[in-house]
A and B are shown apart, each in its own frame.
Chain A
Amino acid sequence: AQSVAQPEDQVNVAEGNPLTVKCTYSVSGNPYLFWYVQYPNRGLQFLLKYITGDNLVKGSYGFEAEFNKSQTSFHLKKPSALVSDSALYFCAVRLGSNDYKLSFGAGTTVTVRA
Protein backbone atom coordinates (compact mmCIF):
# COMPACT_ATOMS: atom_id res chain seq x y z
CA ALA A 1 0.00 0.00 0.00
CA GLN A 2 1.20 3.51 -0.71
CA SER A 3 1.00 6.34 1.78
CA VAL A 4 2.31 9.78 2.50
CA ALA A 5 3.04 11.43 5.84
CA GLN A 6 3.41 15.12 6.56
CA PRO A 7 4.68 15.19 10.15
CA GLU A 8 3.98 18.86 10.82
CA ASP A 9 0.45 20.25 10.97
CA GLN A 10 1.75 23.80 10.94
CA VAL A 11 4.92 25.63 9.96
CA ASN A 12 5.49 29.26 10.93
CA VAL A 13 8.31 31.34 9.51
CA ALA A 14 9.20 35.01 9.17
CA GLU A 15 9.18 36.61 5.74
CA GLY A 16 12.58 36.33 4.11
CA ASN A 17 13.56 33.22 6.05
CA PRO A 18 13.92 29.76 4.52
CA LEU A 19 10.80 27.61 4.42
CA THR A 20 10.77 23.80 4.64
CA VAL A 21 7.70 21.58 4.57
CA LYS A 22 8.40 17.93 5.30
CA CYS A 23 7.05 14.84 3.53
CA THR A 24 7.87 11.16 3.83
CA TYR A 25 6.40 8.38 1.74
CA SER A 26 5.90 4.65 1.80
CA VAL A 27 5.59 2.64 -1.41
CA SER A 28 6.76 -0.77 -2.51
CA GLY A 29 8.19 0.39 -5.84
CA ASN A 30 9.47 3.53 -7.54
CA PRO A 31 7.32 6.51 -6.62
CA TYR A 32 6.17 9.55 -8.49
CA LEU A 33 6.01 12.41 -5.96
CA PHE A 34 4.11 15.68 -6.15
CA TRP A 35 3.59 18.89 -4.19
CA TYR A 36 0.42 20.97 -4.34
CA VAL A 37 -0.73 24.19 -2.70
CA GLN A 38 -4.28 25.12 -1.71
CA TYR A 39 -5.70 28.55 -0.90
CA PRO A 40 -8.92 28.83 1.17
CA ASN A 41 -12.03 27.32 -0.46
CA ARG A 42 -10.17 26.57 -3.67
CA GLY A 43 -8.89 23.54 -5.53
CA LEU A 44 -5.28 22.42 -5.45
CA GLN A 45 -2.58 23.95 -7.61
CA PHE A 46 0.37 21.89 -8.79
CA LEU A 47 3.82 23.10 -7.67
CA LEU A 48 6.33 20.45 -8.74
CA LYS A 49 6.98 16.75 -9.18
CA TYR A 50 9.74 14.16 -8.97
CA ILE A 51 9.75 11.46 -11.63
CA THR A 52 13.35 10.37 -12.04
CA GLY A 53 16.79 11.87 -12.48
CA ASP A 54 18.05 14.81 -10.42
CA ASN A 55 17.11 14.61 -6.78
CA LEU A 56 16.57 18.38 -6.61
CA VAL A 57 13.44 19.44 -8.45
CA LYS A 58 12.54 23.06 -9.18
CA GLY A 59 8.96 24.19 -9.52
CA SER A 60 6.62 27.15 -9.57
CA TYR A 61 6.89 30.35 -7.48
CA GLY A 62 10.50 29.68 -6.42
CA PHE A 63 9.76 26.37 -4.71
CA GLU A 64 12.02 23.35 -4.94
CA ALA A 65 12.01 19.88 -3.42
CA GLU A 66 14.67 17.33 -2.65
CA PHE A 67 14.06 13.63 -3.20
CA ASN A 68 15.96 11.37 -0.80
CA LYS A 69 15.47 7.70 -1.55
CA SER A 70 17.34 6.37 1.50
CA GLN A 71 15.21 8.48 3.84
CA THR A 72 12.06 8.11 1.69
CA SER A 73 11.53 11.83 1.90
CA PHE A 74 10.51 14.61 -0.47
CA HIS A 75 10.75 17.89 1.46
CA LEU A 76 9.50 21.13 -0.08
CA LYS A 77 11.77 24.17 0.27
CA LYS A 78 11.87 27.83 -0.53
CA PRO A 79 15.00 29.88 0.21
CA SER A 80 13.15 33.09 1.09
CA ALA A 81 9.49 32.89 2.10
CA LEU A 82 6.88 35.52 1.24
CA VAL A 83 3.71 36.42 3.13
CA SER A 84 1.80 35.32 0.02
CA ASP A 85 3.20 31.77 0.48
CA SER A 86 0.84 31.34 3.45
CA ALA A 87 -1.41 28.45 2.43
CA LEU A 88 -2.08 24.73 2.89
CA TYR A 89 0.50 22.44 1.28
CA PHE A 90 -0.02 18.82 0.27
CA CYS A 91 2.44 16.11 -0.66
CA ALA A 92 1.18 13.26 -2.89
CA VAL A 93 2.51 9.95 -4.21
CA ARG A 94 1.63 7.70 -7.11
CA LEU A 95 3.25 4.35 -7.48
CA GLY A 96 4.96 3.99 -10.87
CA SER A 97 2.99 0.94 -11.91
CA ASN A 98 -0.27 0.22 -13.73
CA ASP A 99 -2.30 1.83 -10.96
CA TYR A 100 -3.28 5.49 -11.19
CA LYS A 101 -4.11 5.81 -7.51
CA LEU A 102 -2.88 9.17 -6.19
CA SER A 103 -2.55 9.40 -2.40
CA PHE A 104 -2.22 12.63 -0.42
CA GLY A 105 -0.83 13.53 2.96
CA ALA A 106 -2.84 15.33 5.63
CA GLY A 107 -1.47 18.72 4.66
CA THR A 108 0.71 21.34 6.35
CA THR A 109 -0.51 24.86 7.01
CA VAL A 110 2.22 27.39 6.34
CA THR A 111 2.04 30.83 7.90
CA VAL A 112 4.58 33.44 6.88
CA ARG A 113 4.56 36.51 9.12
CA ALA A 114 5.62 39.92 7.92
Chain B
Amino acid sequence: DGGITQSPKYLFRKEGQNVTLSCEQNLNHDAMYWYRQDPGQGLRLIYYSQIVNDFQKGDIAEGYSVSREKKESFPLTVTSAQKNPTAFYLCASSIGGPVRNTEAFFGQGTRLTVV
Protein backbone atom coordinates (compact mmCIF):
# COMPACT_ATOMS: atom_id res chain seq x y z
CA ASP B 1 0.00 0.00 0.00
CA GLY B 2 1.92 3.01 -1.28
CA GLY B 3 1.84 6.41 0.31
CA ILE B 4 3.23 8.83 2.84
CA THR B 5 3.08 8.08 6.53
CA GLN B 6 3.38 10.73 9.18
CA SER B 7 3.62 9.79 12.81
CA PRO B 8 2.34 10.38 15.33
CA LYS B 9 -1.00 11.95 14.44
CA TYR B 10 -1.09 13.97 17.66
CA LEU B 11 1.96 15.07 19.63
CA PHE B 12 2.20 16.98 22.90
CA ARG B 13 5.42 18.48 24.20
CA LYS B 14 6.49 20.79 26.96
CA GLU B 15 7.82 24.19 26.06
CA GLY B 16 11.60 24.19 25.60
CA GLN B 17 11.84 20.59 24.41
CA ASN B 18 12.94 19.55 20.95
CA VAL B 19 10.59 17.19 19.13
CA THR B 20 11.01 15.18 15.92
CA LEU B 21 8.17 14.50 13.50
CA SER B 22 8.44 11.43 11.31
CA CYS B 23 7.71 11.27 7.57
CA GLU B 24 8.21 8.10 5.54
CA GLN B 25 7.27 7.43 1.90
CA ASN B 26 7.35 4.27 -0.17
CA LEU B 27 6.55 5.96 -3.49
CA ASN B 28 10.21 6.06 -4.60
CA HIS B 29 9.97 9.85 -4.81
CA ASP B 30 13.09 11.99 -4.87
CA ALA B 31 11.55 15.27 -3.64
CA MET B 32 10.09 15.72 -0.16
CA TYR B 33 8.60 18.72 1.64
CA TRP B 34 7.57 19.93 5.07
CA TYR B 35 4.81 22.50 5.50
CA ARG B 36 3.27 24.18 8.49
CA GLN B 37 -0.45 25.01 8.48
CA ASP B 38 -2.00 27.64 10.72
CA PRO B 39 -5.59 28.88 10.50
CA GLY B 40 -5.93 31.63 7.90
CA GLN B 41 -2.29 31.36 6.76
CA GLY B 42 -2.44 28.46 4.38
CA LEU B 43 0.56 26.19 3.96
CA ARG B 44 3.97 27.67 4.58
CA LEU B 45 7.06 25.83 3.37
CA ILE B 46 9.58 24.96 6.07
CA TYR B 47 12.16 22.81 4.26
CA TYR B 48 12.31 20.79 1.08
CA SER B 49 14.67 18.22 -0.32
CA GLN B 50 15.23 17.45 -3.96
CA ILE B 51 17.47 14.43 -3.42
CA VAL B 52 19.11 12.38 -0.68
CA ASN B 53 21.69 14.27 1.43
CA ASP B 54 20.48 17.63 0.13
CA PHE B 55 17.83 20.03 1.40
CA GLN B 56 16.92 23.72 1.13
CA LYS B 57 15.31 26.18 3.49
CA GLY B 58 11.78 27.21 2.69
CA ASP B 59 10.04 30.40 3.74
CA ILE B 60 9.94 29.77 7.51
CA ALA B 61 12.94 27.55 8.34
CA GLU B 62 13.99 29.33 11.54
CA GLY B 63 13.63 27.07 14.58
CA TYR B 64 13.43 23.90 12.48
CA SER B 65 15.95 21.35 11.24
CA VAL B 66 15.76 18.38 8.86
CA SER B 67 17.86 15.53 7.55
CA ARG B 68 17.63 13.41 4.41
CA GLU B 69 19.89 10.41 4.94
CA LYS B 70 17.54 8.00 3.17
CA LYS B 71 15.32 8.49 0.14
CA GLU B 72 12.29 7.21 2.07
CA SER B 73 12.64 9.41 5.13
CA PHE B 74 12.59 13.16 5.83
CA PRO B 75 12.25 13.81 9.58
CA LEU B 76 11.57 17.31 10.88
CA THR B 77 12.87 18.50 14.25
CA VAL B 78 11.08 21.38 15.93
CA THR B 79 13.65 22.96 18.20
CA SER B 80 13.21 25.06 21.31
CA ALA B 81 14.19 28.07 19.18
CA GLN B 82 10.86 27.92 17.34
CA LYS B 83 8.76 30.57 19.06
CA ASN B 84 5.28 29.32 18.14
CA PRO B 85 5.56 25.60 17.42
CA THR B 86 1.93 24.65 17.99
CA ALA B 87 0.54 23.91 14.50
CA PHE B 88 -0.51 21.24 12.02
CA TYR B 89 2.50 19.88 10.13
CA LEU B 90 2.21 18.30 6.71
CA CYS B 91 4.77 16.25 4.83
CA ALA B 92 4.63 15.74 1.07
CA SER B 93 6.61 14.11 -1.71
CA SER B 94 6.78 14.27 -5.50
CA ILE B 95 8.61 12.31 -8.16
CA GLY B 96 11.48 14.76 -8.62
CA GLY B 97 14.47 14.10 -10.84
CA PRO B 98 14.00 15.65 -14.29
CA VAL B 99 10.21 15.61 -13.80
CA ARG B 100 9.08 18.88 -12.27
CA ASN B 101 5.48 18.97 -13.46
CA THR B 102 4.05 16.27 -11.21
CA GLU B 103 1.81 16.82 -8.26
CA ALA B 104 2.85 16.34 -4.67
CA PHE B 105 1.30 13.65 -2.46
CA PHE B 106 0.56 14.50 1.15
CA GLY B 107 0.58 12.62 4.42
CA GLN B 108 -2.28 12.93 6.91
CA GLY B 109 -0.44 15.41 9.08
CA THR B 110 0.82 15.67 12.66
CA ARG B 111 -0.84 18.07 15.05
CA LEU B 112 1.79 19.36 17.48
CA THR B 113 0.72 21.05 20.67
CA VAL B 114 3.30 22.63 22.94
CA VAL B 115 2.20 23.33 26.49
Contact = CB atoms under 8 A, between A and B. Distances in A.
Asked whether A and B interact, the reply is yes
A22 interface: no
Interface residues of A, number: 27
By DSSP majority rule, is chain B's interface helix, strand, loop, or mixed?
strand
Interface stretch (A12-20, A36-44, A68-76): A36-44
Chain B interface size band reads 20 to 34
A32 B4 CA distance: 22
A34 B111 contact: no
Interface string A30-63: 0010101000011111100101000000000000
A103 B101 contact: no
Contact of A100 (B94, B105, B108): B94
A90 B37 CA distance: 12
Contacts of A98: 100
B25 interface: no
A101 B100 CA distance: 10
Interface in B35-51: 35, 40-45, 48, 50
A100 B48 contact: yes
Contact of B42 (A43, A101, A105): A105
Interface of B: 4, 31, 33, 35, 40-45, 48, 50, 56, 58-59, 88, 90, 92, 94, 96, 100-101, 103-109, 111
